Amino acid sequence: MLFLIGSAIGADRHHAGGRLPEDAAGPSSPIEAAFSRRAGAPMKLYGYELFAPRPGKVPPSFGTAQNDYLLGPGDELRITIHGAAYPSNRRYMVDSNGDVVVDHLRPLRAAGRTIAELRRQLEAEVTLSMAGHEAFLSLEGMRRMGILVTGAVATPGRHEISGSGTMLDALQAAGGVDRLGSLRTIRLIRGGTSRTVDFYGLLQGLDGSDPALRDGDRIVVPPIGPTIAVAGEVKRPGIYELAPAEAQADGGALSLADAVALAAGPIQPAPVRIVRFALGGNGAEVPDEAAGDPDESRIRTVAAGDLLIVTPTRDHRRGTVTVTGHVRQPGPRALAGAETLASLVGSVDLLTDPYLPFAALETTDPRSLARVLSPVDLQAVLDARSDRLLAGGDTLIVLGSSDIAFLSSQPVLDLLRRGGRSRAPAECAGLEVLARRLSGDPEGVLARGPLARAAKDLTPSTVPCPRVFDDHPDLLAFAMEHAVLVRGVIRPGFYPAADRSDLATLSRAAGGGHKKLGVVSDAAFAGESGSVPAGAGVGDIVDSVAPRIELAGHTRFPGTRLLSQTPSLRSLLGNANQALSHLYPLFGVIERYDRRRLTGRLIAFSPHEVIQGFSDRPLADGDTVRLFSFADIRAAMASAAGNPGRAGQAGTAPAGGSAGPGEMMSPALLTLMADRSVDVRGAVREPGAYPVDGAVGLDLLLAAAGGLSDLADRNSVEITGREPPGDPGSVTSARRVVSLDAANGLAANVGPGDAVRVNPLFDDREPYAVTIEGEVKRPGSFDVIRGERLSSLLKRAGGLTEQAYPAGAIFARESVRRQQTDAFAAIARNIERDISVVLARPDPPPAAQIEQARNLSTEFREAQPIGRITVEADPARLALHPDLDIVLEPGDRIFFPKRPLTVTVAGEVLAPASLQFSPAKNADDYIGEAGGTTQYADASRAFVMKPDGSAQPLKISFWNHQQTALLPGSTIIVPRDPEPFHFFRFTQNVGGLLSQLAVAAAAVFVLTDR
């Protein structure tokens, strides 16, 4: 049987789905993306990696100065003079005039001269002026130059580089040339003149392509010019910018040979075929081929936008066959030494655990010239029962047992169960091909055949996608089309066969198992007529024809067993070798199907009692014994209790599959667990419902619940159990209290329907800390015990500082804050309801008043009260009046401000502010200093909020002579006029509500201000 290999799927899994990888240096530019789509491979602009950041490398402060270094103002020189009369060793700087003034010498001109020229002049001057002395000169420190870099760079602007810096240094200082900037037409402007620099010369090692810079130079990087791309069998595939002359339509155009030379030439020194894809006038690609003629490639030219694909004129490798996959040394072999499969396999060193019933031979169909796959029985080849001639270019793909295990993995089974659709992304290219095969032929053998139906009942394996299915994407679907479903073995699953394979061979490949295996037409008719003794072929289902049982769920070795070998639960689980860690010991089920009554039945058992030898239960043909993990049980009980957030939706789990924490269980199984559960509450680490099989010891149940918490009262464990029914139609309960420290405490039994509560010890420490801040000596968070008072907290905090102002202490309580927030939300709802009522009237209020009412509702809804309450916080007064000492609650916050010298004016005044306190001022004075009231103010309801949070009304009028005493730290609040809201049903209360809102806003203002 032949299998055509789809050419649309490449071997590189990273290119699957048309996605092209991004370069490590950053995302592709539009030019790179466009050429990559046309070439079908990632294409990058040439040369820009020169500016890629290199972490860990710090550039030197200045480069090594050569003798031709041009000096300028700011350079530092080390001049040493040896001699008897005027010895010296000093540093000199080239001054702003460009001179170096050396002791005992006339000024030396340095600016514009090289180091070598200045050194010669210095030696001459010393010889003339200081007989018998020698002079030495070196560059001690290099000046910094400011270079302006503009255009297509990462960070345009002025950048400083060393005096020996070049254009490359300046561009790197500017972050490098952007991928939309040119590398071939960079302009260097110096003193009114401009020159063009081609950085391709620097990349190719040409002299003069990286000019040295001078102070005041400017660099301009224009946008990238016309480009071409060279791909295929070249040493440096990429996108190349054309030089200005080459970009012209007339002379100077670049030839095909020169374009390939830009890409460093062909990889192999052999004739190549160059296909040029030019863009026509309508934007369509026009191919033009130059095959193997060097003269022709030098004559033909390229133009902007061209794409060149370079390929060999012929296949260089001939006379070889290739072996790959599960072998020690994959690669080509000489056809002369491996003309047949037998000779090739005989020379191959197979790895351990190869899969011999099936391999794939990739050949070329002589009629269609397409690459095809055909099955190979390696076992028959090794036994000299089969052989085949090979041809040049053939590839033998050898598989291992781990590769075959992937055919029964979760991703493959998901595709089979959903007709090619999967919730998870494809792990490899082979899965993508299989998905397309299934979705493209929804009525085919893979999608609708017996194996696809049997996949619903198969327990998946957990193996990652092997590399062989990435390297050969069509191999996975090809193997599935030749698969046989083998059950009744240690590792049930899909096993491909090249021909009708011997059942014993398939059984050995599946880990061994029952000797009585046969080919059945369907899993439902296992053991009945239809067995074929000659072997198993493609699409067959191999199963045990003897009575058998299946072990599933949270077990070390799931699979089927002969009933004759495991007739009971104890023989199946008794030696505990099936137990995995985190096995739930108190509940398991036997899923039994009665073929005569056509009904199913669930039988509960205790794995702990079976493994310990306390109980046993006989098994029957077709039974499935299912074990659970702790995670399975907790997820199932959460689902049964109507909490799908933990367990997922309740549904029907695949028979034979493990119902994990996120998988689904059948409703019948969930109901059985709920009916047989014991509720464990109180001071245990994992409270919840735990299913049991009959009576169970209290010690085992508490261990299943994670054990006792640290604050559990071991002497007070309540067990509420069902009493035997007295009156018909009623159930009574009885409660008993046991001590775990008593002799029979842990031995107490509980059963399904009971409830266990482990009472916690009384803890007088509050669950949350209290915070004290401000002017205390030891501010911070303090744990408090029940009934502790404010005075105790003040002592623990070291007392108040000298600057503390206890009369202005701000005491915020979380419970009060929540009450205030709920009250404001209720007020907002009442306002919105009243707005709806008045809008339904024939004569609704003006739209402006309605808008003001809506704004008021929003203010109440968004108000953030702090929950401030009025307390006495002066330690001296608390000592004299203990009845004023407030009891602390969890989450309380206390803030002691510094003694203030201001009075705050808030609310409906023109300029709310904190004003300097003066005993001679009254409320009118402070309101006047705040600009007076606004037109929306309700002066008759103005009040003062004292420093301790209490409020007192003010009487503001020209005839009122009663003064209200104001203390430092007080807040004068002028609320809003309720007149616009006269249409509310609770009009008489609007003024009070506005006052409440003003108090809440003022409290927040005072707290944040301090």
Q: What tens digit of pLDDT does each residue of 694-725 get?
A: 888 888 889 899 888 888 888 888 888 877 66
| Rg of the chain in Å (alpha carbons) | 45
Question: Residue 64: its pLDDT value, please?
Answer: 56
CA angle 153/156/161 to nearest 5° reads 100
Q: Say what percent of the chain tops pLDDT 90.
A: 14
| 622, pLDDT greater than 80 | yes
Strand pairing report for 331-334 and 320-325: antiparallel
Q: How confident is the model at residue 58 (pLDDT cuts 50, 70, 90)?
A: very low
pLDDT of residue 236: 92
Tell which phi-psi region holds residue 951, choosing left (phi > 0), alpha (psi between -120 and 50) or beta.
beta
Question: What is the band of 315 on the pLDDT scale with cuts at 50, 70, 90?
Answer: low
Encode 591-620: b = buried (16+ Cβ within 10 Å), e = exposed.
bbeeeeeeeeeebbbbbbbbbeeeebbebe
Residue 839: per-residue pLDDT: 79
CA distance readout (Å), 497 to 363, 383, 452, 485: 19, 16, 17, 10
Other beta carbons within 10 angstroms of residue 896's beta carbon come to 24
Least confident piece of the model among 744-753, 831-840, 950-959: 950-959
Predicted pLDDT at 45: 93
Q: Name the burial class of residue 832, with classes exposed (0-12), middle (13-18) and buried (19+) by CB atoms within 10 angstroms of its CB.
A: middle
Cβ atoms within 10 Å of 228's Cβ, excluding its own: 25
pLDDT 10s digits, 792-804 = 999 999 999 988 8
Contacts of 782 (CB under 8 A, 6+ apart): 769, 770, 771, 772, 793, 796, 797
Beta bridge partners of 415: none
Q: What pLDDT sits at residue 908? A: 83
pLDDT in tens, 253-312: 788 888 888 998 888 887 788 888 888 878 788 888 776 566 667 778 888 889 999 888
Whole-number mean pLDDT of the chain?
Answer: 80
Instruction: Tell me which residue of 347, 357, 351, 362 sits closest to 386, measured CA to CA.
Output: 357
Residue appearing with tokens 């970009």: 247
Secondary structure of 523-538 as H, E, C letters? HHHCCCCCCCCCCECC
947-995: per-residue pLDDT in tens?
Answer: 877 777 876 544 444 566 788 888 888 887 766 666 555 444 555 565 6
- Cα–Cα dist 756/703, whole Å: 13
Mean pLDDT across 862-882: 85
Output 408-414 pairs: Cβ under 8 A, ≥24 positions apart.
Answer: 408/458, 408/460, 408/461, 408/492, 408/493, 408/494, 409/460, 409/461, 409/462, 409/463, 409/465, 410/460, 410/461, 410/462, 411/465, 412/476, 412/480, 412/494, 413/455, 413/458, 413/460
φ, ψ at 540 (rounded to 5°): -75, 160
Higher pLDDT, 63 or 429: 429
pLDDT band for position 359 (cuts 50, 70, 90): very high
Average of pLDDT values for 167-195? 90
Residue labelled with tokens 């394979």: 501
Q: Where are the alpha helices (DSSP H) in 641-687?
A: 644-647, 667-675
Q: Is the pLDDT of residue 114 over 80?
A: yes
pLDDT above 70: percentage of residues in the chain: 82
Predicted confidence (pLDDT) per residue in 384-402, tens digit? 888 889 888 899 999 998 8
Give 186's pLDDT tier (boundaries 50, 70, 90). Answer: very high
The dihedral region occupied by 786, where left means phi > 0, alpha psi between -120 and 50, and beta the remainder, is beta
Closest CA relative to residue 947, chosen from 899, 910, 996, 998: 899
Query: What per-residue confidence (pLDDT) applies to 17?
Result: 37
The reported pLDDT for the residue numbered 524 is 35
Residue 313 three-state SS: coil
Q: Give CA–CA dist 428/432, Å, rounded.
A: 7
**pLDDT (average), residues 65-87:** 81
Q: What average pLDDT does the segment 902-929 reach?
A: 84
Q: What is d(CA 729, CA 731) in angstroms, rounded to the nearest whole number?
A: 7
What was the pLDDT predicted at 690?
94
Do residues 420 and 411 make contact, with C-beta atoms less than 8 angstroms apart? Answer: no
* Of 280, 324, 276, 277, nearest in space to 297 by CA: 276
Looking at residue 751, the DSSP 8-state letter turns out to be -
Residue 226: predicted pLDDT: 92
Mean pLDDT value across residues 621-630: 90
Burial letters 932-952, b for 16+ CB under 10 A, else e = ebeeebbbebbbbbbbbbeee
pLDDT tens-place string over residues 570-601 = 888 877 776 778 899 999 999 988 766 767 88
Rounded mean pLDDT, 885-902? 87
Answer yes or no: is pLDDT of 233 > 60.
yes
Longest CA–CA separation in the chain, Å: 135
Give the pLDDT score at 522.
41
Q: For 428-436, what is the mean pLDDT?
A: 88
Give pLDDT, residue 967: 80
Task: Name 982's Cβ contacts closer than 8 Å, sequence gap at least 6.
Answer: none
SS (H, E, C) 910-938: CCCEEEECCCCCCHHHHHHHCCCECCCEC
Other CB atoms within a 10 A radius of the CB of residue 446 amount to 21
Answer for the pair 180, 154: CB distance below 8 angstroms, yes or no: no
C-alpha torsion angle, residues 257, 260, 261, 266 (rounded to 10) = -110
